[in-house]
Chains A and B, each alone.
Chain A
Amino acid sequence: MSENISHWRTTLQTELEAEAISVNVRTTEATTIQHWQIAGEFWLRFAQLAYQQDLRWVAGWAEQETTAFVVHACFAYQGEYLWLSTALHTEKPELPSQAGIYPAASRSERHTQDLLGIHFTDHPDARVWLRHHAWGKHDYPLRKDFPLQGYPETITPPDMDYQFVKARGAAVYEIPVGPVHAGIIEPGHFRFQAVGETILNLEERLGYVHKGIEKLAEGRTPEALVHLAGRISGDSTVAYSWAACRAMEQAVGIRIPARAAFLRGILSERERIANHLGDIGAICNDVGFAFAQMQFSRLREQWQRTQADIFGHRLLMDSLIPGGVKVDLSPADSQILLQELKALRKELDDTIPALDLNSALEDRLFTSGYLSPATAKTFSTVGYVGRSSGQDLDVRRDTPYAPYDQLDFKVIVEQQGDVASRVWVRIKEVFASIKLLRQMLQQIPEGEQATSWHSPAEHSTGLAMIEGFRGEIISYVRFDNNNKISRFYTRDPSDFGFLALEKIVLNNIVPDFPVCNKSVNASYSGHDL
């Protein structure tokens, strides 16, 4: 399989050579990732060629090194990743935008532009993205000369002059929603243009939960970085800590003990189940079917209480450390978890038919919020949003990492692309995760919980991907000379979820937006960083 896939690399390389674009190829620790370096002027051309090779745009970020800005982009074809970098002058950093080819790159480039001051020329959307007047016009917080504590002035002025897309015409009206919402959810602004109840356009304005994760990570020790990564998005704490750990472990070149990998797998699958249970109930609640919400909240709560009993934290925060895990599982606890799986399975067998057979629920969920496979692909959607629209992507299978390389599981892919499909993909993933958990709990090997850490070489880098419950999380680290972090970036699957949401709601009616939104359940915190 790998040979067939690798074919695109050779083709791409030949095409680049034909155009006299020189590529500096570096193989990384992980065989599935290749690091290519090209000159900045070919940045756009590369994207065009990559697009022809059907590569998926995965992530984009940048950093300031001692003498230059380095801009990175990551592409993938199935499970193989291509990590592209280019160095820019510090004086006037400019780069052609790839967003014209890959719309998924748009917000990421605006993010880089706002935080590092790297200008992307010919960007289809020149507005600011994360900047909400919090910094001076020429202050770029991710630059090394910007102090960590910022320049605390008075209160940040209101963000009044953002130019939303306007619809014109008779009976067209605008509905501003948020950033503060009635429910206990994160802040984000939605601007609808609607005629009657039909949504003509939805525009998101995010960045209200910008916590400066990237800046806060600078100068941290590996342990402190994992601690921070676990707080990027609270519901994915295991996945994020794992992604940060894997990136750092790659940079250092250490392999974690098999037992630690299994424990991470167990924690991660438990996190997936907990979130999916919560989501299934919440989606039903958004169409006024409170019964499901109550049942699934109860299941999730019991699940999390077990986690508190056995692992010491309801959401499993701070269970991972660089090189392994902090928690352990006694045989007796394994038995408890296996019993719980059986009990959950039984509960679900009782509850799921109640959803399946409810025609009122069916009427609301089927055909609402349709995301076509083509749109899903355009916006690089991953996770359940992508998989319910035919995007057959799952890092656990495509780029296997321990323990998933030793386990047997099925990736659930559907083609319908509506809200119902996103519910059903979740339901099936819960069952798949139950099977995975059973395998892991039965096969978990004896051994160490963690391997000892050693300082990496100066400027070691690591790029890792983890399948969180929302989908593929990308994590990048670079160390300085002192076992401290010099750059940390993560790309949350929500980046694509939010892009897809703007298309999902088109031609739906305004009151169906909440359920469409919930079916995507993108993380504001993970997106804003």
Chain B
Amino acid sequence: MNLLIAIMQTLLFISLAPLLAGWLKWCKCYLQNRKAPSLLQPYRDLLKLTHKQPVVSKDASWLFIIAPYIIFSATVIAITVIPLITVDLPTAASADMIVLVGFLAFARFFLVLAGLDVGTAFGGMGSSREMTISSMAEPAMLMAVFTITMTASTTNLSFAIEHILQEGLVLRPSYIFALFALILVAIAETGRIPVDNPATHLELTMIHEAMILEYSGRHLALIEWASQLKLMLYGVLIANIFFPWGMAETLSLSALGYALLAIMGKLGVLAILLALSETLFAKMRLFRVQEFLSFAYLLGLLGMLSHIILEASR
């Protein structure tokens, strides 16, 4: 039964991710005084891409072709670890937060290789930038994660969230620091403004998009879907670690339904905030990203320090 729910939860996650992307687009359009495409547009785009014949460069190796499948699967495995609507599922026990970061790094590794594989200038440029950014984002992410694991005394995400749920609303300075650190990391990792511009057509400014410029058809669909999953993954992480209330603690149908509504509401609000910040800010200069991520790391570190100084003795 639990396993069934775990599978259901993962499928739900996969199917909801394009909706979140659509909602984000909708908010951005609204804020820019534009008419937004339908919320279902990302689904249509994915469907359209699967119908198209993928064009593969003659210089591409086998790596280029399998990379989308690896990236998509690794991201899917990562999301199985994340409690979306309920905690304490069998899949959640299979891996902890450090492995979660590892899964994402694994997906990225193949994305970067695929960018380099075809040998275009843009792909290489994107890969180089992606590695630069991830080398700074991952430590910051781990630092934020460690702050949480220290309070809950576990690196398992599900148990940590359960711990937070049971503890009720406690105002922890360390969590506030960790929250902001995680938000900054999430922006960098999902390639949003001000770090990367997902909507740009300017190859020279791209990071994530530059790596996937050569992809088309179903390969592109998988990569696009994986990045939508990643966006939602970070959204769920932020929502469920710091605001876990509403998650189903029992496996009754009403609790699960209520939890689904709760997480959709939380993600909806997060998307509005993201759209707001994307409307208000310009993309920053590439070399300022390191300041941005160092700041995220610093916040994570401060979170941990404040936990040790202010909270651990209690």
A interface residue numbers (CB < 8 A to B): 173-177, 181-183, 197, 284, 286-291, 294-295, 298, 358, 360-361, 363-364, 368, 509-514
Contacts and interface: CB of A to CB of B under 8 A. Distances in A.
Contacts of A510: 125, 204
Given A294-B32, A295-B33, A177 B282 contact: no
Contacts of B199: 290
A286 B281 CA distance: 13
Given A197-B287, A294-B33, A509-B287, A514 B202 contact: yes
A514 B282 contact: no
Interface in B29-81: 31-34
Interface string B272-296: 0000001111111111100000000
Given A197-B286, A294-B32, A514-B205, A288 B194 contact: yes
6 contacts: A197-B286, A284-B282, A286-B205, A288-B194, A361-B282, A511-B204
Contact of B204 (A173, A361, A513): A513
A37 to B, nearest CB: 47
B201 interface: yes
Nearest to B34: A294
Contacts, number: 81
B203 interface: yes
Given A291-B279, A360-B194, A512 B284 contact: no
Given A174-B121, A288-B197, A294-B32, A363 B280 contact: no
B194 to A, nearest CB: 6
Contacts of B279: 290-291
B193 interface: yes
A499 to B, nearest CB: 20
B200 interface: yes
Contacts of A173: 121
B200 A288 contact: yes
Nearest to A354: B280
B285 A289 contact: no
Nearest to B199: A290
Contact of A289 (B203, B282, B287): B282
Interface in B172-203: 193-194, 197, 199-203
Contact of A175 (B34, B121, B205, B283): B121
Contacts of B122: 175
A299 B18 CA distance: 32
Nearest to B202: A514
B276 to A, nearest CB: 11
Contacts of B200: 288
Most chain B CB inside 10 Å of its own CB: which residue of A182, A295, A298, A512: A182
Contacts of A368: 285
Contacts of A294: 32-34
A298 B40 CA distance: 26
A98 to B, nearest CB: 34
Nearest to B195: A288
Contact of A364 (B31, B201, B204, B282): B282
Interface of B: 28, 31-34, 121-122, 125, 193-194, 197, 199-205, 278-288
A92 B281 CA distance: 61
B173 to A, nearest CB: 28
Given A182-B203, A513-B204, A514-B204, A358 B285 contact: no
A326 B285 CA distance: 48
A513 to B, nearest CB: 5
Given A175-B121, A290-B32, A363 B204 contact: no
Contacts of A174: 121
Given A286-B202, A360-B280, A291 B32 contact: yes
B284 A177 contact: no
A182 B202 contact: yes
Given A176-B121, A183-B202, A294-B32, A287 B280 contact: no
Given A291-B32, A295-B33, A511 B194 contact: no
Given A360-B281, A364-B282, A177 B193 contact: no
Contacts of B125: 175, 510
Nearest to B196: A288
A511 B284 contact: no
Contact of A298 (B28, B33, B193): B33
Nearest to B277: A360
A282 to B, nearest CB: 11
A85 to B, nearest CB: 43
B121 A509 contact: no
Given A176-B121, A294-B33, A287 B282 contact: yes
A287 B283 contact: yes
B97 to A, nearest CB: 31
A181 to B, nearest CB: 8
Given A173-B121, A291-B279, 5 more contacts: A288-B193, A289-B282, A361-B282, A364-B282, A509-B287
A361 B193 CA distance: 12
Contacts of B34: 294
Contacts of B204: 175, 177, 510-511, 513-514
Given A174-B121, A175-B121, A291-B32, A360 B203 contact: no
A364 to B, nearest CB: 5
Most chain B CB inside 10 Å of its own CB: which residue of A358, A360, A511: A511
Contacts of A360: 194, 280-282, 284
A286 B122 CA distance: 17
B195 to A, nearest CB: 10
Nearest to B33: A294
B308 to A, nearest CB: 34
